Amino acid sequence: MFVFYLVKKILFIFLFVSCTPLMSQSSFNNDPSIIRDPTGYKVRYGDKLKVNVRGQQECSGDYIVSREGKIRLAYVGEIQVNGLNTKAIEALVIRKYQTDLIFRNPVINVFVTDYSERVVFLTGSVNRKGPYTFPPEVEAMNIVEVISRAGGFSEIARKTKVYVTRTIHDERGNAVKTETYTVDVEGLSKGLVRFGTSKKFWIYPGDRIEVPERLI
């Protein structure tokens, strides 16, 4: 009887844990402070891909996306994968092998096995300084949300004059120019200021946020 009760208890705990999401995916998807790409994660420089060509071990393997956004495959050489999701890469590789008359009807699967680090740097008067890592599927996040996730402003922060430094890159990943923006985060959080037509200022991976101290 005791064993039956114990098994029943364990089964209940297992079902409860397995059915409870680690985070609310629906609320995350609909969060207005976050931009997600509806077509899925786009591969970028530094990502590690696994390419499986069924029945062709010499063509399968692990590849790191180069700074130019390319991987090099057996028989067909380099292909550009930057900015594509895995389904698009699969279609591209199939077409390449068919066009080059390597395989007639290849079955190919592509997976991202390791994501490149995508961080935002926070310095100055915030409660948790240092890099903040973006989830892979997030394209951009409202600055109010980023600072909130960094523990918020310190007591002496100048919330109306936050500096955001952004490096602009070309298609090859080379730095082209650097721009610095002054953001009234307090005004944004209260809906009192706009950037163009938006009440949000979007932060992208690689941005640097500096929160100065207010003048006392």
pLDDT of residue 149: 85
pLDDT of residue 160: 92
Measure the CA–CA gap between 156 and 143, rounded to whole angstroms.
18
The alpha carbon torsion through 120, 125, 127, 133 (nearest 10 deg) reads: 0
Measure the CA–CA gap between 14 and 156, rounded to whole angstroms.
47
Name which residue leads in pLDDT, 30 or 209. Answer: 209
Q: Residue 82's CB: how many other CB atoms inside 10 A?
A: 19
Assess whether pLDDT exceeds 70 at residue 12: no
Name which residue leads in pLDDT, 166 or 3. Answer: 166
Measure the CA–CA gap between 134 and 34, rounded to whole angstroms.
11
Assess whether pLDDT exceeds 60 at residue 16: no
Assess whether pLDDT exceeds 90 at residue 110: yes
What is the value of pTM for the model shown? 0.67
Measure the CA–CA gap between 137 and 131, rounded to whole angstroms.
18
Tally the residues of the chain: 216
**How much is the average pLDDT of 56-64?**
92
CATH topology of domain 48-114: wza like fold (3.30.1950)
Closest CA to 166 of 209, 110, 215: 209
Measure the CA–CA gap between 155 and 214, rounded to whole angstroms.
9
Tokens representing residue 154 in the block = 């310190």
Confidence of residue 27 (pLDDT cuts 50, 70, 90): very low
Question: Which region among 26-40, 97-111, 136-150 has the lowest average model confidence (pLDDT)?
Answer: 26-40
Question: For the residues of 38-95, what is the DSSP string, one character each?
Answer: TT-PPP-TT-EEEEEETT-GGG-EEEEPPTTSEEEETTTEEEE-TT--HHHHHHHHHH
Residues whose CB falls within 8 Å of the CB of residue 45, separated by 6 or more in sequence, listed in order: 65, 66, 67, 69, 82, 116, 173
Instruction: Quick: pLDDT tens for 112-156.
Output: 999 887 889 999 999 998 888 888 778 888 999 899 888 999 999
Name which residue leads in pLDDT, 138 or 90. Answer: 90
pLDDT of residue 125: 92
Pairing mode, strands 202-203 and 61-64: unpaired
Tokens representing residue 75 in the block = 């028989």
Amino acid at 198: S
Order of strands, sheet of 208-211, starting from the edge strand that comes earlier in the sequence: 130-133, 119-124, 208-211, 162-169, 175-183
pLDDT of residue 23: 32
Domain 119-211 has CATH 3.10.560.10: yes
